[in-house]
Amino acid sequence: MVVSEPGLTDAYLRTPRAAGLAGIIFSVLLFAVFGLMRLSVPADPFEQGAWLAGDTTYVTLAMNLVPFAGVAFLWFVGVLRDRLGAREDRFFATVFLGSGFLMLAMLFAAAAVVGAIIVAFHAAPELLIHSGTFHFGRGLAYGMVNIYLAKTAAVFMITTSTIAVYTRLTPRWLAFGGYAIAAVLLFGSSYFDGSLLAFPLWVLVVSATVLWDRQAA
């Protein structure tokens, strides 16, 4: 039989207060990633890669920020689950976690593809630009972000908003706002450039609301 010290388990399992800032940190980092990428990489997936011959410092910095944004998002999900507690439903919890993990997988994979393109260009500049490999990698990263990441982010927002409606996890207006933004991502992410920025903005507002409720409590 294992005997633990009194209060030790509670101390280790208690959610840190700083975790309430995780969603805000994720939002800021994701804004920074998208902003730095837009400064160097054209939005057109059919571009010829002229940006690779220039300064790629912004792109490299953006790629290095992605892992930190991913960790912050995991903390944000943990904060929401901690706030739900025993009210968490198994069905919605599965979709909630699954869509969040898929979204992070798409974000990490797209960042890895862009990083690989940069490394391959520096290894053989002329060979890469005039090959189908560059266009394949460019299209792959574009599809991961604008199609798959956007759609899984929309599913995450719909699930979170549904949970919020029934459990009052967030204010009702914020839950219905999540539905509206999710609809834009589901049907308009391929047509409206920058629409994906609505997701970190929504996470920022949710995190601020949760943090405010904790301070009030």
Crossing angle of helices 22-40 and 198-216, rounded to 10°: 160
Highest mean pLDDT among 40-44, 45-49, 108-112, 144-148: 108-112
Residue found under tokens 């960042």: 111
Average pLDDT over residues 80-98: 79
pLDDT tens digits, one per residue of 150-174: 999 999 999 999 888 888 878 888 8
Q: Which helix (H) or strand (E) element contains residue 149?
A: none
CB contact set of 205 (below 8 Å; sequence gap of 6+): 174, 177
Per-residue pLDDT at 216 exceeds 60: no
The model's pTM is 0.81
pLDDT tens digits, one per residue of 93-123: 788 889 999 999 999 999 999 999 988 888 8
Average pLDDT over residues 205-214: 80
How far is Cα 187 from Cα 151, in angstroms, rounded to an integer? Answer: 9
Residue 19's pLDDT band (cuts 50, 70, 90): low
66 within 8 A of 139, measured Cβ to Cβ: no
CA 140 to chain centre: 18
Per-residue pLDDT at 4 exceeds 70: no
Q: In the 8-state DSSP scheme, what is residue 189?
A: T
Q: Look at residue 11 in the predicted model and tell me its pLDDT.
A: 43
CB contact set of 84 (below 8 Å; sequence gap of 6+): 163, 167, 169
Average pLDDT over residues 123-136: 81
79 within 8 A of 106, measured Cβ to Cβ: no
Least confidently predicted of 14-18, 36-40, 74-78: 14-18
Average pLDDT over residues 198-214: 85
Average pLDDT, the chain: 83
Average pLDDT over residues 201-205: 92
Q: Look at residue 135 in the predicted model and tell me its pLDDT.
A: 86
